[in-house]
Amino acid sequence: MTRIGKISSQVYKRLHVWRLRHLSDEVFLLLLSVVTGAIMGLAGVGLKTAVLEVNRLLLRFGYPTPLGGNVLTLIYPLVGVLLTVLFVRYVVRGSIGHGIPSVLFAISRRKGELPPKNMYSSFVASTLTVAFGGSVGLEAPIVSTGSAVGSNLGRWCRLQPKHVKLLLGCGAAGAIAGIFKAPIAGILFVVEVLMFDLTMTTAIPLLLSALSASTVAYFLMGQGVQFEFSVHTDFALSQIPFYIILGLFCGLSSLYFLRVTDRVEAWFAARSNPWWRMLIGGLAMGVMVFLFPPLFGEGYGMLTQLLGGDSASLFDNSLFQPLSVHPWSVPAMLAALILFKGVATSTTIGCGGVGGTFGPSLVMGGLSGYFVAATLNLLGLPMQDAANFALVGMAAVMTGVMHAPFMATFLIAEITGGYSLLVPLLIASAVTYLCVNPFERHSIYARKLADNGDLMTHDKDQSAWQLLDMSSLIEVNFVSVKQGDHLRQLVEAIQESQRNLFPVLTDNGKFLGVIVLDDVKKIIFRPELYDIVGVEELMHPLQEGDVIRTTDSLAAVVGKFKVGDRYNLVVLDADDRYVGFLSRANTFSAYRRFISDTSDE
């Protein structure tokens, strides 16, 4: 170790000792939550500013065609994806994970531990992708960054795993709060998307982190947010049917977005050569952006213009600008953007770009809401405020895609600076959720984890039986006897064993039954029977109710323990070969430890 390393180690140890003497774990955790939030406020502002400035710089240059469009947009996304792939391959030197799903996996399976490289890898990679026009969001990467900052800060300070997880949540809350200056939305994101329980123990650190991040963002950027808007038209009860229609349409948009992202990403995953994936996807993105310029980057600039009533901006630098004079041109362009936004997002991610679906779901919602309002107005129905519909649509599609209705509702409320749209926000979000939930039981981030049994939910009982590792609970220190053995061999096994169960196996390891020590106590002291009585005469034969397979879930184990007075279950593999025993005591002890480790109060 170098001299600097030794000095650093000594300083670290002294600080840790001082902390243990002067600060309780609870107070120290609150301080770290403020620090985590402040870091994420700075990171969010830096990320958004860098991407915005590069976007503006690139779009200043252009070579328009005679029909319109900017030729350079054909190659910008490819350049961004190329830089991203090179960064991941040669700087990160490994996978950087899948954003929020990686965070959820760390919460459920890794005690909240995220690799240190996650503190910068998603941040840099997403900047390269989006700055050059990749049609993805920056929210998921900054959440991944914030979660990694909180996780590693907690581990560096030697906190308990429970507190490391909480700091991970503080980083995520600070990330959302810092980007949107929406502290309540940041907290609800952690509760609804990351599945944290909101208790007094978790609420205060999450609140401090969100407020800290928002304060830093306010200090550096002022009052404005990404698409600041003030509601000018109040909600009227007569509009309820139209907001129900909006909710239904947003349900369709959400399902379309979920399905198209699955299929496009699966298509790219099937291509084995990463360079071909990058080339095909980058060029495809370039073509889409060339035809539909609003697909360039995150899309918040387009939303800002729509909320301001400037629907004509949809056709700026577009080949379709001559068609903008037609009355139905705006709904037609919005419909095209809705269809291609999901394709553009999944193409960007599938070909090697780094970004998330948080922002695209907001953009899809804004487009959907504006489309419904513009269509209703053109049909001669009572006039609807297109900006209000766009805002409500943003919350509705986010609800459908992320299964986070309260986070989506309060995010829009905080962005608009009030709660005048609270009723339509809740109506449309509820309708959208009811439409999507029968087809998608989990959010876009949690679907694959749930399918693999790796998702921790608010239902701690279900999570315990789903996430506990059954293989670690199997007891194998039982001495077995073989088919054909006699009492003599059983007595020898009893002398070697400290357990009261003795499995009877065939020569190839298949389980036939079990001998219980209490049943043979009277005859093990009768030597004249040692070579007469066979073990098959003494065993309890195999019964299906006493058997669990290695492929079964722990929920099935618990179900069998609850039936009758079983205290031990024999574990067999798929070929009926003996593996070991599961005991009721060990299983429920593991359950209690899980609940203790994952509960905050």
| pLDDT tens digits for range 84-114 | 999 998 898 877 766 888 888 888 777 788 9
What pLDDT score does 346 carry? 94
What pLDDT score does 395 carry? 95
What radius of gyration, in Å, describes the C-alpha atoms of the chain? 30
Alpha-carbon span 247 to 245, nearest angstrom: 5
What pLDDT score does 112 carry? 83
Residue 540 — very low, low, confident or very high, per pLDDT cuts 50/70/90?
confident
What pLDDT score does 336 carry? 94
Mean pLDDT of 470-489: 85
Alpha-carbon span 207 to 121, nearest angstrom: 26
Provide DSSP, 528-577: GGTTTSBHHHHSEEP-GGGEEETTS-HHHHHHHHHSTT--EEEEE-TTSB
- Residue length, the chain? 601
Which runs of consecutive H residues, i.e. helices, occur in 132-273? Answer: 139-156, 161-180, 183-192, 200-221, 240-269
Closest CA to 319 of 136, 73, 77: 73
What pLDDT score does 556 carry? 73
Closest CA to 516 of 546, 558, 551: 546
Residue 5, pLDDT > 60, answer no
CA 32 to chain centre: 23
Amino acid residing at 306: L
Whether residue 352 contacts residue 274, with contact meaning beta carbons closer than 8 Å, is answered with yes
What pLDDT score does 323 carry? 81
Residue 407, pLDDT > 60, answer yes
Q: CB within 8 A of 507, min separation 6: which ones? A: 482, 483
Alpha-carbon span 387 to 373, nearest angstrom: 9
Report CA-CA distances (Å) from 248 to 88, 299, 307.
40, 23, 21
Residue with the larger pLDDT of the pair 317 and 240: 240
Q: Between helices 300-307 and 386-402, what is the axis angle to 10°?
A: 140
Whether residue 209 contacts residue 173, with contact meaning beta carbons closer than 8 Å, is answered with yes
What pLDDT score does 68 carry? 64
Residue 453, pLDDT > 70, answer no
Q: Could you give the 3-state DSSP secondary structure of residue 514?
A: strand
Element (H, E) at 519: helix 517-520
What pLDDT score does 16 carry? 65
pLDDT in tens, 214-244: 999 988 876 655 556 677 778 888 899 999 9
Residue 460, pLDDT > 60, answer no
Residue 434, pLDDT > 80, answer yes
pLDDT in tens, 112-169: 889 899 899 999 999 999 999 999 988 999 999 999 999 999 988 888 888 898 999 9
Alpha-carbon span 331 to 491, nearest angstrom: 85
DSSP 8-state assignment for residue 222? -
Mean pLDDT of 430-450: 88
Closest CA to 41 of 214, 224, 221: 214
Mean pLDDT of 343-356: 92
Report CA-CA distances (Å) from 521 to 197, 482, 517, 547.
52, 19, 6, 25
CA 540 to chain centre: 48
Closest CA to 50 of 109, 115, 127: 127
Residue with the larger pLDDT of the pair 129 and 196: 129
Whether residue 191 contacts residue 265, with contact meaning beta carbons closer than 8 Å, is answered with no
Amino acid residing at 71: V
Residue 3, pLDDT > 70, answer no
Alpha-carbon span 590 to 481, nearest angstrom: 29
Span of 148-162, 269-283, 347-361, 469-483 with lowest mean pLDDT: 469-483
Can you read off the two tokens belonging to residue 563?
């039936």
Whether residue 80 contacts residue 133, with contact meaning beta carbons closer than 8 Å, is answered with yes
Element (H, E) at 581: strand 578-583
570 φ/ψ angles, rounded to the nearest 5 degrees:
-80, 140
Residue with the larger pLDDT of the pair 465 and 29: 29
Can you read off the two tokens belonging to residue 549?
């397979």
Mean pLDDT of 63-90: 83
Q: Could you give the 3-state DSSP secondary structure of residue 365?
A: helix
Average model confidence (pLDDT) across the chain:
85
Span of 192-206, 421-435, 459-473 with lowest mean pLDDT: 459-473
Residue with the larger pLDDT of the pair 557 and 414: 414
Other beta carbons within 10 angstroms of residue 245's beta carbon come to 18
Q: Is the pTM of this model over 0.75?
A: yes
What pLDDT score does 426 carry? 94
What pLDDT score does 247 carry? 96
Q: Between helices 121-131 and 25-60, what is the axis angle to 10°?
A: 20
What pLDDT score does 600 carry? 53
Residue 66 — very low, low, confident or very high, per pLDDT cuts 50/70/90?
low
What pLDDT score does 411 carry? 93
Can you read off the two tokens belonging to residue 197?
């329980």
Write down all domains in the chain, each with its CATH number in brackets: 3-221 (1.10.3080.10), 237-464 (1.10.3080.10), 467-598 (3.10.580.10)
Give the whole-number percent of the chain exceeding pLDDT 90. 36
Paired sense of beta strands 501-505 and 511-516, if any = antiparallel
Whether residue 99 contacts residue 353, with contact meaning beta carbons closer than 8 Å, is answered with no
Closest CA to 183 of 165, 202, 209: 209
Burial 19-30 (b: 16+ CB within 10 A, else e): beeeeeeeebbb
Residue 416, pLDDT > 80, answer yes
Residue 2 — very low, low, confident or very high, per pLDDT cuts 50/70/90?
low
Q: CB within 8 A of 116, min separation 6: which ones? A: 148, 152
What pLDDT score does 491 carry? 86
Residue 489, pLDDT > 90, answer no
Residue with the larger pLDDT of the pair 338 and 538: 338
Closest CA to 362 of 384, 387, 392: 392
Whether residue 403 contacts residue 433, with contact meaning beta carbons closer than 8 Å, is answered with yes
Which runs of consecutive H residues, i.e. helices, occur in 351-451? Answer: 358-378, 386-402, 405-416, 422-436, 447-451
Give the whole-number percent of the chain exceeding pLDDT 70. 89
What pLDDT score does 466 carry? 62
